[in-house]
Chain A
């Protein structure tokens, strides 16, 4: 059995050596192995003979005559220009600069488009971020003082400003829409004051009541306010509301003079649209436009109130102009104004408006650097390709 296996292995090895054995390219040991295997296995001998026949036939293959001489001429050894293409007409310097210019154009085109996109994105995203931050700040800072104030306030306390529920809502879109609506309403209202001042006061009172009822936390305060008999004091939210919806110039115009000391006295901190102590006093002409104190209430019914109403119309016009562009900045200002937070809060609300702008410019400059580097890489790649092409054409 073992002997048979040994023979099989020997025959297999010899079969692999038949070809070099024919050529005499085997060692002595290999030659001995093949010859022993040939004596053992007659099939291996037949294979060797068939191989020998094949090799003999190959050796007898006739030589062929070359169809033509392959000698070279001067023209053959000259550097070839690619036939069909006229690239050799273009000077090398033009190819180089053309490649560089094409690369730069690509960079400028791509970079310009991306920069524009980046700038657009920065312009759109920064105010959105402002609004969100302002909303958060206003929400947190509006609720806390109000809650504190509600706790501290006696039952006969002055009503809170009407804008606080709106700020508590924190909806920038609503504020914006309301700003537009209120400006139009103010214009109508100013006209109506000339004709029917009492009706305007009643209308304003209804508005104030409706707005106050939006917040459950404010409901008792609104009820107290509704119980107040003085029509002028109830009408106080009207200029205040206008103030809230106007840009910065008119922030402190319409607040009733009596409310400032009241709020300061009772709550210790100004609430919702009340002008803080540290803020500068309004200019004389603006002070004349402010809502009259309680003692001067009958002036509304007199003819002497006409100049004041005209001035108020002018303010409404100004506020229209200021509020006309529905930009996000106007929205932010309105939101900040509506916030019942104290001065420190409004300062904090202004600061974030600059932060995203810086971030946008940083992004832009970063993008510019990235595009510059990418451009340099592209130019390098173009030059390399051109050099490779030049080498190949030679």
Chain B
């Protein structure tokens, strides 16, 4: 059964068909939400809300890339959650300190040694911290492009921004991330020596 037929059935109110779509896209949706939100529980809540909104908004889907349409709902839900948490910073304090979702990160290379695994784990944490300190609009573009591999055009469709805006946001996000990593002395020495007197 292809995606279009499943979407059509879901639009007619078939929850089972919609749940098949959920199973297809929930990994992608959760990863985007996790990188954008920076916290697993918040990402899970955002994902749940986003799928519920998607089900209720299925009538507004007029064709095109279902993945981009769904990612637009996910990113908008993340924006809403970020704004909500910004108004209530105390709510996310526990999640920030505990970070329980870190154990669920898959190890991509099972052949690496333990010390390399620890170093990668630390690098991932620092990268996530660097992403978290970005503005939300730059964060979304960076995650969609550099983490999830969406093209500029897809990001433009998802965010509803012009292509030039996507390019500039991504450029600024990468520049900030690089500066953050320089401050953490994670970049190779030849890059750091240029700034030193």
- A57's partner among B35, B123, B170, B191 (CB-CB below 8 A) is B123
CB distance from A5 to the nearest CB of B (A): 23
Instruction: Say whether B31 contacts A64, CB under 8 Å.
Output: yes
Q: Flag the segment in B60-68, B82-90, B173-181 that touches A.
A: B173-181
Cβ-defined contact, A72 with B15, below 8 A: yes
Identify the closest chain A residue to B178 (Cβ).
A54
CB distance from A75 to the nearest CB of B (A): 11
Closest-by-CB residue of A relative to B54 is A72
User: Does any Cβ of A come within 8 Å of B147's Cβ?
Assistant: yes
Q: Is the interface of A mostly helix, strand, loop or mixed?
A: helix
The answer for the CA separation of A19 and B175 in the assembled complex, in Å, is 9
Are A54's CB and B181's CB within 8 A? Answer: yes
- A64–B99 Cα distance when bound, in Å, is 13
Assembled-state Cα–Cα distance A18/B175 (Å): 10
By secondary structure, the B interface counts as helix
Please determine whether B146 and A64 come into contact, CB atoms closer than 8 angstroms: no
Interface size, chain A (Cβ < 8 Å): 34
A46 contact from B18, B51, B106, B191, Cβ within 8 A: B191
Report yes or no: B26 in contact with A58, Cβ–Cβ below 8 A.
no
How far apart sit A50 and B15, CA to CA, in the bound complex (Å)? 48
Q: Which of A53-96 contact B (CB under 8 A)?
A: 53-55, 57-74, 76-77
Contact A64 B174 (CB under 8 A): no
Contact between chains at B178 and A61 (CB < 8 Å): no
Q: Are A62 and B147 in contact (CB under 8 A)?
A: no
* Interchain CB contact under 8 A, A54 and B174: yes
Contact string against B for A residues 30-57, beta-carbon threshold 8 Å, 1 for contact and 0 otherwise: 0000000000000100100111011101
Q: Return the contact of B18 from the options A43, A57, A72 (Cβ within 8 A).
A: A72
A20 CB–B CB distance under 8 Å: yes
Which residues from chain B contact A63 at a C-beta distance below 8 Å? 27, 31, 105-106, 108
**Does B69 sit within 8 A of A, measured CB to CB?**
no
**Is the beta-carbon distance between A73 and B152 smaller than 8 angstroms?**
no
B104 near A71 with CB under 8 A, answer no
B48 touches A70 (CB 8 A): yes
B22, A72: Cβ atoms closer than 8 Å: yes
| Smallest CB separation, B153 vs chain A (Å) | 9
B residues near A348, Cβ cutoff 8 Å? none
Given contacts A64-B101, A67-B104, whether A49 and B146 have CB atoms under 8 Å apart is: no
Question: Is the beta-carbon distance between A64 and B30 smaller than 8 angstroms?
Answer: yes
**Does A304 touch B at the CB level, under 8 Å?**
no
B side interface size, CB within 8 A: 51
Residue of B15, B142, B174 most packed against chain A (CB within 10 A): B174
Which residues of chain A are near B182, meaning CB under 8 Å? 50
- A278 at the A/B interface (Cβ < 8 Å)? no
Are A25 and B167 in contact, with the CB atoms below 8 A? yes
| Contact partners of A71 in chain B: CB under 8 A | 19, 22-23, 51
Chain B residues 1 to 31 lying within 8 A of chain A, measured CB to CB, are: 15, 18-19, 22-23, 26-27, 29-31
**Shortest Cβ distance from A77 into chain B, in angstroms?**
6
> Contact between B106 and A19 (Cβ–Cβ < 8 Å)?
no
Q: Is the CB of A69 within 8 A of B22?
A: yes
Q: How many angstroms from the CA of A111 to the CA of B76 in the assembled complex?
A: 47
With an 8 A cutoff between CB atoms, is A4 at the interface?
no
Q: Is B47 an interface residue (CB 8 A)?
A: yes
* CB contact list, A136-182 vs B, under 8 A: none
B106 touches A18 (CB 8 A): no
Contact of B127 among A23, A58, A74 (CB under 8 A): A58
The contact of B51 among A50, A60, A64, A70, by CB within 8 Å, is A70
Contact among B15, B101, B147 with A61 in the assembled complex (CB-CB below 8 Å): B147
- Across the interface, which residues of B come within 8 angstroms of A72, CB to CB? 15, 18-19, 22, 51-52, 55
For residue B23, which residues in chain A have a CB less than 8 angstroms away from its CB?
69, 71
Query: Cβ of B81: which chain A residues have Cβ within 8 Å of it?
Result: none
With a CB–CB cut-off of 8 A, which chain A residues contact B149? 59
In the assembled complex, the Cα of A46 lies from the Cα of B40 at a distance in Å of 35
Asked whether, in the complex, the Cβ of A43 is within 8 Å of the Cβ of B147, the reply is no
Known contacts A43-B194, A66-B44, A71-B19; 8 additional CB pairs below 8 A are: A19-B175, A20-B170, A53-B187, A58-B147, A63-B106, A64-B40, A64-B106, A70-B30
Chain B interfacial positions (CB closer than 8 Å to A) = 15, 18-19, 22-23, 26-27, 29-31, 34-35, 40-41, 44, 47-48, 51-52, 55-56, 101, 104-108, 123-124, 127-128, 142, 145-147, 149, 152, 167, 170-171, 174-175, 177-178, 181-182, 187-188, 190-191, 194
Query: Which 3 pairs show the lowest CB-CB distances between chains A and B?
Result: A19-B171, A58-B146, A66-B30
Residues of A participating in the B interface, judged by any CB pair closer than 8 Å: 16, 18-20, 23, 25, 43, 46, 49-51, 53-55, 57-74, 76-77
What are 9 contact pairs spanning A and B, CB under 8 A?
A16-B171, A50-B178, A50-B182, A58-B142, A62-B124, A63-B106, A67-B40, A70-B48, A73-B15
